[in-house]
Amino acid sequence: MRTPFIAGNWKMNKTVSEAVVLVDELKAALSGVPASSVDIAVCPAFVALTSVKPALAGSSIKLGAQNAYYEPKGAYTGEVSIGMLTGIVDYIIIGHSERRQIFGETDALVNKKVLAVIAAGLLPIMCIGETLAENEAGQTEAVLERQTRDGLVNVSPADIAKVTIAYEPIWAIGTGRAATSDDAQNRCAFVRAQVRLKYGDLADQVRIQYGGSVTPANAKELLAKPDIDGALVGGASLKAGDFSAIVKAVAAQ
């Protein structure tokens, strides 16, 4: 019912020329994967987008950005507008935990960005997830409920299926310590239940990714879970062999 979706978040890695090399490697590694079996995207740094875009031609790999600002233009030094990305990317990651934790992004800002991405005709990947302290304090569901609710304010029923939600427990990011597949499934099912409270059965059309130390070794088990519709991959997305192995793990299911 939901096409699985694997996205690579390259974070602040790869120069422009390195990004093009990685894309060439990915195209070769993924050439045998039927486009109908899985949606694939890579999200390089802003400066690499216009070089990666033509390099992706002829493949089914889509392009995403890692962030954007919601204002259309103006005196926002260092920011990139969604309009500037239109025609280049299909997806924009919004509210990654690194944006929230290092750059102070709030649920209210995340919501403005989600709405602006949808208004521009692009597809947001809205990230949510609890810290280790919140997890250990038993606050995970409260955090996920708040982030899901506040991030989706004023997103209409007609648009909700355009949103991908990435559940990324912060303690699992870059640590090599992924959530167990059962825990990840339970959290993703909880998030879907939150979406269902507001949007009813449209929740069944919303893709929910898991992110946090996804590797070729754990991808198959995670992605076999019914409420995990894909993965947002960090470190392993920087290696063509690893990323393509993750894609193939879901494409084969």
Out of 232, 246, 249, 251, name the contact with ligand 13P by CB under 6 A. Answer: 232
Within residues 4-43, the interface with ligand 13P by CB under 6 A covers 9
Q: Is 96 a catalytic residue?
A: yes
With CB under 6 A as the contact rule, the residue among 117, 188, 233, 240 that binds ligand 13P is: 233
Distances (CA, A) of 1 to 28, 38, 205, 207: 28, 12, 8, 10
**Which entry of 96, 105, 130, 134 is annotated as an active-site residue?**
96
Tell me which of 130, 168, 227, 242 binds ligand 13P, using CB under 6 A.
168
| Residue from 40, 120, 34 nearest 84 by CA | 120
Task: State the binding string over 186-225 for ligand 13P (x if CB under 6 A, else -).
Answer: -------------------------xxxx-----------
- What is the tally of helices (H) and strands (E) in the chain? 10, 8
Cα Rg of the chain, angstroms = 17
CB of 23 or CB of 236, closer to ligand 13P: 236
Query: Site for ligand 13P (CB under 6 A): which residue of 4, 44, 151, 234?
Result: 234
User: From CA 78, how far away is CA 72, in angstroms rounded?
Assistant: 14
Residue of 134, 141, 168, 221 marked active site:
168
Residue 96 in the binding site for ligand 13P (CB under 6 A): yes
Closest separation in Å from C-beta 143 to ligand 13P = 16
Candidates 12-20, 70-78, 148-156, 231-239; binding stretch for ligand 13P (CB under 6 A):
231-239
Which residue from 223, 230, 228, 232 is spatially nearest to 188, judged by alpha carbons?
A: 228
- 199/248 with CB nearer ligand 13P: 248
Min dist. Cβ of residue 209 to ligand 13P (A): 9
CA proximity to 160, closest of 145, 175, 149: 149
The DSSP string of 199-237 is HGGGGGGSEEEEESS--HHHHHHHHTSTT--EEEESGGG
Q: Closer CB to ligand 13P, residue 69 or residue 171?
A: 171
- Measured between alpha carbons, how far is 189 from 70 in angstroms, rounded to an integer? 29
Distance CA 56, CA 3 (A): 21
Active site residue 145: no
Q: Which residues bind ligand 13P (CB under 6 A)?
A: 9, 96, 168, 173-174, 211-214, 232-236
